[in-house]
Structure 1
Amino acid sequence: MDLQLENKVVLVTGGSKGIGLAIASAFVEEGAKVAIVARGKEALEEAKGNLQGDVLAIEADLTNEAERERVVNNVVEAYGTIDVLVNNVGGSNGSTTAETDLALFQQAFDLNYFSAVHFSKLVLPYLKEKSSGSIINISSIFGRESGGKVTYNSAKAAMISFTKSLADEVIQDGIRVNGVAPGSILHPSGNWQRRLEENPEKIKQFVKDEIPAGRFGSAEEVANVVTFLASEKASWVVGATINVDGGQSRSNF
């Protein structure tokens, strides 16, 4: 299927590894111009070397407001505009609510939520100028239900709500905002790979008990949904956050 993304300018945060790298790769395969942003210089350079296409790698701390502004300026200087934003950067910290310092909640929101809100605000003028474009927020099935670290879950829940709110606000400008909520995804740099190596029998049982499809998802399966949402093939999908989880979520919406 031709998704008609050739020469579109795509910004992927957290794009040097895992799901973000798979998303960047999928857009490159569609002929897009892709900017990947992450904190680690070595991972960025390796990712750029592995991506066969027009790729701009930007090192930045995405919890920092000034750094986020610099990133958008760098992309526009290089490519002239932005057509698609993928807010993928994220991470978890802390443990239970009672045992987690308030500062860790703030850090989790700075990385997972406020970075997405700020990047969205920064790219909107470029999308409104063309009356087209797409913003895609990578949240989690645990943004809708309990599971994992409370700081992460709370930030992803906020992201799902933000996705719908912004979508309703800007669709009149020709801009579509949607989200993807992955379940448990296995990739070399992820927590599930580490856990699998540490205790394969425990993880095998987890998959059997928790994932109806009977296996982990792949980063590429998430990326396929993201590229579809960014394309005009998804022109009537507005404000949705789509589970990509092999049936893992217990939520029915």
Structure 2
Amino acid sequence: MNLELNGKAVLVTGGSKGIGKAIAYAFLDEGAKVGIMGRNIDDLKATQKEGIEIFPGNVTDARDRERVMKDFIEKFGTIDILVNNAGGSNGSAVMETSMELFEEAMHLNFLSSVDLSKKAAEVMIGNEAGGSIINISSIFGRESGGKPTYNASKAALISFTKSFSDEMIKKGIRVNGIAPGSILHETGNWKKRLEQDPDTIHAFVDEHISAGRFGTVEEVASVAVFLASEKASWVVGCTLNVDGGQSYSNF
């Protein structure tokens, strides 16, 4: 399908592996100009191909966010699409997790996305065609399935997505999100756990994922390019579950 994304300038954070890498490649396949941000220069270089520019930086560092956005604009002239994908999980039970880890999770999974969204929106407001911001959250932002730090920070991101969308749609910028379920890929935790204890993980899939399998990064990426396109012009402030029926949420 031609999603009319040819020539669009796209920045994907956490774009050197997993879901972020698949999203970057999906936009590239649609003819977009893609930049990926990540901490590990070797991973970035391994992901880079013709049409993809690399921007080393840590999303939790305000100076890196400022620099990367500036460098991206200088390279491409504008930003049409931002995908806030960088994230991670830490800690354990609430009473066993320090406040420092809660704060780290909020900076990584939430506050960095808020800052980058604001920076991108400042530029998109001047674009005739507006822009699109996509926040990669999790089904566990709606229910308590992951670690408490992760659940809370992803819930905040879902709430922010709706709030910011109401503000930005008036200026031609659509803000939406994706809430993946359990996704299997080479660098992810599910892959490691599957190798360590296949029986337990297969039992988890059978019990918790209605579709009977893990999702793929490509399945998440396909939703991202759709949300960024004019095919989704009436999708505003929505965080879509991409989970094979895993979520217990019915609304």
TM-score by length of 2: 0.99
What 5-or-longer segments of structure 1 have no aligned partner?
A: none
Aligned to 1:205: 203
Residues 1:129 and 2:132 aligned together = no
1:72-100 Cα shifts (integer Å, max 9, x gaps):
00100111000000000000100000000
Partner Cα distance (2:71, 2:51) in 1: 15
Write the letter of the residue equivalent to 1:7: G
SS at match of 1:118: helix
Partner Cα distance (2:123, 2:232) in 1: 20
Query: Which of 107, 110, 116 is the aligned partner of 2:107?
Result: 110
Partner Cα distance (1:122, 1:45) in 2: 25
Write the letter of the residue equivalent to 1:55: I
1:138-164 Cα shifts (integer Å, max 9, x gaps):
000000001111101100000000000
Residues 1:90 and 2:87 aligned together = yes
Aligned to 1:161: 159
1:201-253 Cα shifts (integer Å, max 9, x gaps):
11000000000000000000000000000000000000000000000000012
Write the letter of the residue equivalent to 2:77: G
- Once the two structures are TM-superposed, the CA of residue 62 in structure 1 deviates from its matched residue by 1.0
Partner Cα distance (1:180, 1:243) in 2: 6
Task: Quote the RMSD (CA, aligned, Å).
Answer: 0.6
Aligned to 1:171: 169
Partner Cα distance (1:83, 1:211) in 2: 35
Write the letter of the residue equivalent to 2:141: G
Query: Which of 43, 52, 55 is the aligned partner of 1:55?
Result: 52
TM-score by length of 1: 0.98
- Once the two structures are TM-superposed, the CA of residue 187 in structure 1 deviates from its matched residue by 0.3
- Once the two structures are TM-superposed, the CA of residue 21 in structure 1 deviates from its matched residue by 0.1
- Once the two structures are TM-superposed, the CA of residue 126 in structure 1 deviates from its matched residue by 1.2
Aligned identity (percent) is 59
Aligned length: 250
What 5-or-longer segments of structure 2 have no aligned partner?
A: none
Write the letter of the residue equivalent to 1:161: S
Aligned to 1:13: 13
Aligned to 1:23: 23
SS at match of 1:217: coil
Q: Which runs of 4+ in 1 moved over 6 A?
A: none
SS at match of 1:103: helix
SS at match of 1:129: coil
